[in-house]
């Protein structure tokens, strides 16, 4: 149980951290790489060069100030709403599972699914854009119909790990879920 380096479907490296808090409770944290300062600087320089070129031709200073404002607001919205730092899956046998994503600005969104609603955690394949990917998902069932799948909750959507990482998480989850 420790840190492992895997890749996501696009080839970017991610890391998986498996922690076993007890025999019935395990946590899996998939971390994406942090926002690189080089990329931020390149992006800002390009935007400001374009804005300066437009200002050079139109002689309108609002172009410059609006470019600065748009860059700042855009970066703030990106790190608060879009850039996911790590996603975690906490499996507690006989209680339920907790999914949480934490964004680069520190914001965290958490969902808890109780054990009676969980039918299974499986690895499914589906078409995503132009490729077919493996992804881990939770199958939910209604208490009135224990044999039918009522809905599907995909896990690790922002980091999208590849099959070797998913297999590890799958085997570990099945051990915990089958104990109760």
Distance (Å, whole) CA 124 – CA 105: 31
Tell me how far, at minimum, the Cβ of 45 lies from other proteins, in Å.
32
| 123 sits near other proteins (criterion: CB under 8 A) | yes
φ/ψ bin of 156: left (φ > 0), alpha (ψ from -120 to 50), beta (otherwise): left
* Binding status of residue 124 toward other proteins by CB under 8 A: yes
Residues of span 126-155 touching other proteins by CB under 8 A: 126-129, 135, 137, 139, 148-154
Assess 46 for contact with other proteins (CB under 8 A): no
- Shortest Å distance, C-beta 61 to other proteins: 39
Closest listed residue to residue 160, CA positions, set 4, 11, 2, 36: 11
- The number of residues that bind other proteins (CB under 8 A) is 24
Distance linking the first and last C-alpha atoms of the chain:
22
Using CB under 8 A as the binding rule, the residues of this chain from 100 to 119 that contact other proteins are: 119
Take residue 74 and report the two structure tokens written for it: 């855009």
CA distance 148 to 145: 6
Segment interacting with other proteins, rule: CB under 8 A, options 3-11, 84-92, 97-105, 168-176: 168-176
**Rounded to the nearest 10 degrees, what angle do helices 61-77 and 37-58 cross at?**
160
Which residues form the interface with other proteins (CB under 8 A)? Answer: 119-120, 122-124, 126-129, 135, 137, 139, 148-154, 157, 167, 170-171, 174
């Amino acid at each position: 149980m420790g840190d492992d380096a895997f890749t996501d479907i696009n080839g970017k490296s991610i890391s998986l951290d498996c922690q076993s808090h007890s025999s019935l409770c395990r946590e899996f944290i998939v971390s994406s790489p942090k926002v690189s300062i080089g990329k931020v600087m390149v992006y800002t320089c390009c935007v400001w060069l374009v804005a300066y070129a437009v200002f050079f031709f139109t002689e309108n200073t609002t172009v410059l100030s609006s470019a600065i404002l748009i860059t700042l607001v855009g970066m703030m919205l990106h790190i608060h709403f879009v850039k996911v730092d790590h996603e975690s899956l906490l499996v507690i046998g006989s209680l339920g599972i907790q999914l949480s994503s934490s964004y680069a600005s520190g914001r965290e969104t958490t969902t808890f699914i109780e054990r009676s609603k969980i039918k299974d955690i499986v690895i499914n394949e589906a078409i995503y854009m132009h490729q077919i990917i493996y992804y881990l998902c939770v199958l939910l069932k209604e208490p009135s119909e224990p044999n039918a799948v009522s809905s599907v909750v995909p896990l690790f959507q922002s980091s999208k790990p590849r099959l070797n990482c998913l297999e590890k998480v799958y085997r570990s989850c099945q051990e915990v879920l089958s104990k109760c």
